[in-house]
Structure 1
Amino acid sequence: MKKLILTLAAVACAISPAVAKEKMQRAWQATRTTDPVTGVSRCVVSALDYVGKTRYSRTGFLYPVIENHPQHGLLVGVSSGGRFRLPTGTILWRVDDQPFREVRPEDGPVTTDMSAMPAGLTPQDPVAAKAMADAMAVSGRAIMAATATSSFAMGDTARAMLAELRAGHGLLFRAKAAAADTGLPDSGMYRVGQITKDGLKPVPLDASLASALADCGI
């Protein structure tokens, strides 16, 4: 009997770590969608809120996002959540003890549609037409900075940020406007990272990140 008890105890000890591992939450997850109108498919890696196996985002909160966009290429940054998306503004972003970065919405994808301009208002002179196009691009980026619900880095910056994430342990970020740069200390400076039952914590850069990136082919 004693030998049987010891054997059962050893089996229980061998099983327990596997059970615990199954109960660990995946901080990062890949989400695939297909637009029912355009048919464009996308795969986004994000760290959302969760209860059990249910993932969700909340209005007024920010979430880190990584995407290999079919048109704009690699995008790394932050998106606002919930049904009603709010402007994100400039984001302060830092992995571990790396220097912090500023991710501005106007640095991300911007589309300026010249076709929307009435033909009669388009200058015939090439120089004037280019000047108008440049002015519209600047105006478009200014509008985006005020209204965009995502702040993304692109190109070399996005690739450098992704490399930091892959090699890092924890991610902190917040809206730059959440804390004033001058005057009395602002409690908004502590609105960083991910909300957990134990308060705000760095978003873990664990094995779930590599798994989700692989799921999206990134």
Structure 2
Amino acid sequence: MKIRISALALVALTMACPAVAKGRAPQAWQATHTTDPVTGATRCVVTALDYFGKSRYSRTGFLYPVIEEHPDHGLLVGVSSGGRFRLPTGTILWRVDDRPFRELRPEDGPVTVDTAVTAPAGTPQDPVAAKAMADAMALTNRMIMSATATSTFAQGDRAKEMLAELLAGQGLLFRAKAAAPETGLPGTGMYRVGQFTNEGLRPVPLDESLRTSLKECAIPTGD
């Protein structure tokens, strides 16, 4: 008789015993290679995903750290939502060890073409009116990015600073800013940080697997 395990049961098993056989936990970070079946474009990203035995996976409703040397946007460091159905990430609070936390906003990262709003036909010729319309379109784009983006990244010099912190650190904590209310009674979401282990939530380890995975994706580590 075949035994079927539901997705919920698999998650429960994962949270209860995420370590691999013989008590050895897998490496925290891993390089993931993908190839687009239509365009043929290849990507390599460094992530710290959930694991069950030797299998790696992500879950809908959970956030995962991602590092990538993007062909168009350069170095990206931040967070992406996981699972089959990607949810908006919003603003992220990010901290390495006891350093001051960083606030990452989705609208500060790369803007994708499919979410950008362009000015309608008949743009005013008057410079003041044209600037007002351009500012309105830019604000609309930022609002759309903030509400719908399924990843939140830093880029440029800020991404380089964050990567240097990761390489010099011991543990990473992050969460969605909206998970904790700014007023009123505290919510349980503020404590949902780090990585699930058999000992509960722990900071994501910044171990040697991070440096190894970065090299596999040809992302400079400063060595």
Task: Place the TM-score, normalised by the shorter chain, in its bin.
Answer: 0.7 to 0.9
Q: Name the amino acid aligned to 2:33.
A: R
The letter for the 2-side match of 1:109 is P
Secondary structure of 1:151 counterpart? strand
Shift of 1:136: 1.7
Distance 1:200-1:24 versus aligned 2 partners, 3 A rule: closer
Match of 2:95 in 1: 94
Instruction: Check 1:199–1:49 CA distance in 2 against 1; reply closer, same or farther (3 A cut).
Output: same
Match of residue 184 from structure 2: 183
Q: Distance in 1 between matches of 2:113 and 2:31?
A: 30
Could you say which structure has the higher helix fraction? 1
Count of residues in Structure 1 that have an aligned counterpart in Structure 2: 198
Q: Does 1:66 pair with 2:75?
A: no
Q: Which residue of 2 aligns with 1:155?
A: 156
> Which is greater in Rg?
1
Check 1:38–1:124 CA distance in 2 against 1; reply closer, same or farther (3 A cut): farther
In 2, Cα distance between equivalents of 1:127 and 1:33:
47
Name whichever of 100-109 and 177-186 sits farther off: 177-186
Question: What are the equivalent positions in structure 2 for 1:4-153 lying under 5 Å apart?
Answer: 23-111=24-112, 120-124=121-125, 128-153=129-154
The verdict on how the C-alpha distance between 1:156 and 1:75 changes in structure 2, with shifts beyond 3 A counting, is: same
CA distance in 1, matches of 2:41, 2:125: 36
**1:88–1:151 Cα contact (<8 Å) kept:** yes
Per-residue deviation at 1:129?
A: 4.5
Structure 2 portions without partners, runs of 5+: 1-21
Give yes or no for contact 1:112–1:140 (8 Å, CA) kept in 2. Answer: no
- Distance in 1 of aligned mates of 2:125 and 2:38: 36
Structure 2: which amino acid aligns with 1:51? F
SS at match of 1:210: helix
Residues 121 and 115 of structure 1: is their aligned pair in 2 closer, same or farther, counting only changes over 3 Å? Answer: farther
Cα-Cα RMSD: 2.3
Shift of 1:117: 5.5
